[in-house]
Chain A
Amino acid sequence: MHEMSIALAVIEQVEQAAAEHGAQAVEEVLLQVGELAGVVPQALDFCYELACADTVLAGSTLTVEPVAARARCVDCGREWAVGMPPDLACPGCGGARTELLAGRELQILQVRWAADPVLARADQEG
């Protein structure tokens, strides 16, 4: 189970961003997870909650935005939903020259800092 390593990597990057932005607490982290990223959202959620203790992320919510995997055939131009288990050979012409359009995402999209009147005055609200 590598979700703990993933959770720790998320926390480390958010902590760094919090330091750069002078934020004291985090309310929500929005994470984009592709269908083929090899991450189990439930396991990640469990690890995230544990690993957030005693950090600026304590008590924050991890929101996962799933991304469906899609591919395109270079030869015939067909696009399809890859599914799980993935079908990466072209279902139209059977070609092997295909490319993945989406589905391997694993990135922090957005962080919402917890309300803090002092910081809110000093910085732009979002």
Chain B
Amino acid sequence: MCRTVDLQQAVLARNDDSAQELRTALAARGTIAVNLLSSPGSGKTELLERELGLARERGVPVAALTADLATENDALRLGRSGVPVKQVLTDGLCHLEAVMLRGHLDGWLPQATRLLFVENVGNLVCPASYDLGESLRVALASVTEGEDKPLKYPTAFGLAHLVLVTKTDLAAAVGFDEAAFLANVRRVNPGVEVVLTSARTGQGVGTLLDRALAVLAGEPVHRPVMGRPAGHAHGAPLADHS
């Protein structure tokens, strides 16, 4: 003899709700968050260091929060840019969640901040499922990782508003097939912008800052097919700007 109850509850509803609250709270103070996702060693930190330095030169108030399982190495590197930086240690957790992020921002995020860059834990699987209240989600892949990365991690690349290819200075050495990579990105995320970058040569450096500033100014953001299921309330990480 049993009873059943129909719950119809989204498992990640609590995170989605917290993320939406954080997005609203940030917007109220004139700040947007940028969530950076990539595998370990893809060159996120080095590119971000360049972008933060550029922001400082241009007088754009930015801040960065970087998450790792262990070590404060990334915060030390990002801190060289001279902008406010905070290291978050996840104690083994493979991703950030919205409530955790909010806890780390409370009492730290400088009031003047306009762009908050969040360097997620290096991992293309788990962070993809968690909206952090960002207004721009960026997936990065280096040329050394292979052209099929977007197919192997379809959620990470499929939910991105912008895709950055890093370490293009190594493209020739590793025989990177740019056309194949672009085709794979289009397959999981039709219409998303893909930008080639190299922190070494400076190619594409500044694009991340420019795109983030455009979103801050209210320009429409790409809406990934995977992020807007028909007739589904959750899963759209962004307010509809269009």
**A interface residue numbers (CB < 8 A to B):** 1-2, 5-6, 9-10, 12-14, 17, 21, 23, 27, 31, 36-39, 71-72, 84-89, 95-104, 106-117, 119-120, 123-126
Residues from chain B with a CB closer than 8 A to the CB of A109 are 6-8
Residues from chain A with a CB closer than 8 A to the CB of B7 are 13-14, 17, 107-111
Other A-B contacts than A36-B154, A99-B225, A114-B2, 5 sampled, CB-CB below 8 A, are: A5-B95, A13-B11, A96-B190, A98-B190, A104-B235
| B-side interface mostly | mixed
Question: In the complex the two chains form, is B11's CB within 8 Å of A104's CB?
Answer: no
Q: Which 8 pairs between the two chains have the least Cβ-Cβ distance? A: A96-B190, A2-B126, A126-B4, A85-B151, A38-B155, A96-B191, A89-B190, A100-B229
B232 is an interface residue with CB less than 8 A from chain A? yes
Question: In the complex the two chains form, is B3's CB within 8 Å of A71's CB?
Answer: no
Which of A99, A111, A120 contacts B1 (CB under 8 A)?
A: A120
- 10 A-B residue pairs with Cβ-Cβ distance under 8 Å, sorted by A, are A5-B93, A85-B154, A86-B187, A88-B158, A100-B226, A106-B12, A110-B7, A111-B5, A115-B1, A125-B2
Question: In the complex the two chains form, is B8's CB within 8 Å of A86's CB?
Answer: no
Give the interface size class of chain B: 35 or more
Number of A-B contacts (CB under 8 A): 141
Question: In the complex the two chains form, is B5's CB within 8 Å of A99's CB?
Answer: no
**Contacts A27-B2, A86-B154, A110-B5 hold; do A2 and B125 have CB atoms under 8 A apart?**
yes
Question: In the complex the two chains form, is B225's CB within 8 Å of A106's CB?
Answer: no
Which of B3, B8, B9, B13 contacts A113 (CB under 8 A)?
A: B3
B80 is an interface residue with CB less than 8 A from chain A? no
Question: In the complex the two chains form, is B9's CB within 8 Å of A13's CB?
Answer: yes
Residues from chain A with a CB closer than 8 A to the CB of B226 are 36, 86, 88, 100, 104
Distance, CA A112 to CA B172, complexed state (A): 58
